[in-house]
Structure 1
Amino acid sequence: MSTTSIREASHAGSWYESDGNYLDQQLSTWLTEANNNTNNRLKTRAIIAPHAGYSYSGPTAAYAYKCIDPSDIDRVFLLGPSHHYSLNTCALTNHTHYETPLYDIKVDTQITNELYKTGLFSLMNKQQDSDEHSLEMHLPYIAKVFE
């Protein structure tokens, strides 16, 4: 694993807003407008949200992220498909941080290393990680909800 490596927000500016202030306002608006139709007594342990460009999926994703109580969550596992590369296993990032227009998100490299050592996971190379949008589209919402 890398010592310090930041995965750039390669889809910012095209799939979603690259200006941090504007993106923060946009996410806040969508989260405010999202109706929370869940039972607040239940603890949300997993969500499923779309990963298309925000002009298509941003407001819809807010409904999922609105259900999260960040005070009750210690770790986030983010799963997504690979649109550009055929993979025989689940692949892990080789970066220590994910860049977002809001702030950089730290990767739990201890857990990543433990998963990799099982032999059940591979590591994405820099190009594979940069090309894939499915995980990146969730990062601004994660940054916003956990700020």
Structure 2
Amino acid sequence: MRQPAVAGQFYPLRPENLEKELKQCFEGLEIRERNVLGAICPHAGYVYSGKVAAHVYAVLPKADTYVIFGPNHTGYGSPVSVSTDTWKTPLGSLEVDRELADGLSGSIVDLDELGHRYEHSIEVQLPFLQYRFDQDFMILPICLGMQDEETAVEVGNLVAELASKSGKKLAFIASSDFTHYEPANVAREIDNEVIGTILNLDIPGMYEKLYRKNASVCGYGPIAAMLTASKKLGANRAELLKYSNSGDVSGDTSAVVGYAAIIVE
């Protein structure tokens, strides 16, 4: 059992408080499923980025399995790792799609729990999925410590091939925040340029922009993997639903973190 690592820190530990916070995140949003194949969601504390993430989850369709790509902030575990543990959150337990996970054996993706044990980027997405869909789905959690373009694209292609063979309905979620600890105007300028390449589904362009701007987007590998998998399954457009930064909540615009909700259809 993969126990929650950041319950009580990034989001409330008590189920009733967590549900209340999630309800507040969705306030003013219409729940209307769209034909979303992939998405980008932030993974900061819900008080900062929960309302941004809710823009994605309000339109995310019901799927058999949600593939969640997250960056590895901790440095533990394999360079690219998939977990097969049952994942527990304050709202209940979620099963991993072990059929898909088994299909990754022998590839660049290692079966490794250590990379996931203390990592928050995937965990914080799960209560949103449970709030929308109860426990009626499976997950495939993939943590990327190596985020270079070649690795990310390979992971995305692998998962897309598995999805096609399985016949299941899948959706791909990339967990990422955008620019870290820059003044709000600088963060917005950098993020606008990076987001522009994402909206064009341009993975090489995104990497080029990241390097040229020295952009501190933490989940660029997961974004590239998600875009690759989504495009392979027929996605041809992307849309920015919401952008904000931590300063919009804290009032401190001197050093913010940027958050974007993006869907790929």
TM-score (norm 2): 0.47
Once the two structures are TM-superposed, the CA of residue 113 in structure 1 deviates from its matched residue by 1.3
Q: Distance in 2 between matches of 1:108 and 1:42?
A: 23
Indicate if the aligned counterparts of 2:34 and 2:60 stay in contact, CA closer than 8 A.
no
In structure 2, the CA distance between the partners of 1:42 and 1:14, relative to structure 1 (3 Å rule), is closer
> Runs of at least 4 residues of structure 1 off by over 3 A?
86-89
Identity among equivalent positions (%) equals 27
In structure 2, the CA distance between the partners of 1:35 and 1:129, relative to structure 1 (3 Å rule), is same
Q: How does 1:1-147 map to 2 (within 5 A)?
A: 6-34=1-29, 42-70=34-62, 73-85=63-75, 89-95=79-85, 97-115=86-104, 117-126=105-114, 128-147=115-134
Indicate if the aligned counterparts of 1:9 and 1:136 stay in contact, CA closer than 8 A.
yes
Q: Which position in structure 1 is the counterpart of 2:259? A: none
Once the two structures are TM-superposed, the CA of residue 34 in structure 1 deviates from its matched residue by 3.0
Q: Please tell me the residue identity of whatever aligns with 1:53.
A: G
Once the two structures are TM-superposed, the CA of residue 103 in structure 1 deviates from its matched residue by 0.9
User: Structure 1: where are the runs of 5+ without partners?
Assistant: 1-5
SS at match of 1:76: strand
Once the two structures are TM-superposed, the CA of residue 14 in structure 1 deviates from its matched residue by 1.0
Once the two structures are TM-superposed, the CA of residue 141 in structure 1 deviates from its matched residue by 0.6
Q: May I ask how many residue pairs the two structures share in their alignment? A: 134
In structure 2, the CA distance between the partners of 1:106 and 1:27, relative to structure 1 (3 Å rule), is same
Q: Please tell me the residue identity of whatever aligns with 2:29.
A: A
Residues 24-77 of structure 1 deviation map (CA, whole Å, 9 limit, x = unaligned): 1221232232367xxx6841111111011112111111111101132xx21110
SS at match of 1:140: helix
Considering Cα pairs closer than 8 Å and 6+ residues apart, tell me whether 1 or 2 has the greater RCO. 1
Indicate if the aligned counterparts of 1:34 and 1:59 stay in contact, CA closer than 8 A.
no
Q: Which position in structure 1 is the counterpart of 2:200? A: none
Once the two structures are TM-superposed, the CA of residue 21 in structure 1 deviates from its matched residue by 1.2
Once the two structures are TM-superposed, the CA of residue 90 in structure 1 deviates from its matched residue by 2.4
User: Structure 2: where are the runs of 5+ without partners?
Assistant: 135-265
Structure number with bigger Rg: 2
